Amino acid sequence: MREIILTITVAIFTSGISSSALAKNNINSNEYVEVMRKDFKEITLKEVPVAVKTAIVKDFIAAFVTKVYVNESKQYKIALTIDDETKFVVFADKEGHWLKDKEIRA
């Protein structure tokens, strides 16, 4: 139960931060998404390593994976959703360790 509450809380704060950061910088969200797509290539869930899948199930039990991307450094961008309104993105390495923004390489 604690994990679900924590997951929902993180998702809410993460989605709010992204929106406010874009608004403060006057960045068009379509342009922002296009930049991210250049570094990451969309893949199927079948192509994701078992360690990453295990980390998703363990830490985001209430979430559904909507899209998965990978970059040349074998880092994974995972789009998750809890319901139709709570959507967020997390990053992981090939061993299933969660990455912070400064750890993501192109």
Which sequence spans correspond to the domains of the chain?
Answer: 2-103
pTM greater than the 0.85 cutoff: no
Q: Quote the pLDDT of residue 85.
A: 82
Instruction: Classify each residue of 73-98 as buried b or exposed e, where b means 16 or more C-beta atoms within 10 Å of its C-beta.
Output: eebbbbbbbbeeebbbebbbbeebee
Query: What order of strands is seen across the sheet that includes strand 41-43?
Result: 41-43, 64-70, 76-81, 87-92
HEC profile of 41-93: EEECHHHCCHHHHHHHHHHCCCCEEEEEEECCCCCEEEEEECCCCCEEEEEEC
Note the pLDDT tens digit of each residue in 60-106. 999 999 999 999 999 999 999 998 889 999 999 999 999 998 888 86
- 2-103: CATH architecture: 3-Layer(aba) Sandwich (3.40)
Note the pLDDT tens digit of each residue in 14-72. 555 444 444 454 444 444 443 444 589 999 999 999 999 999 999 999 999 999 999 99
Q: Which candidate, 102, 45, 46, places its Cα nearest to that of 78?
A: 45
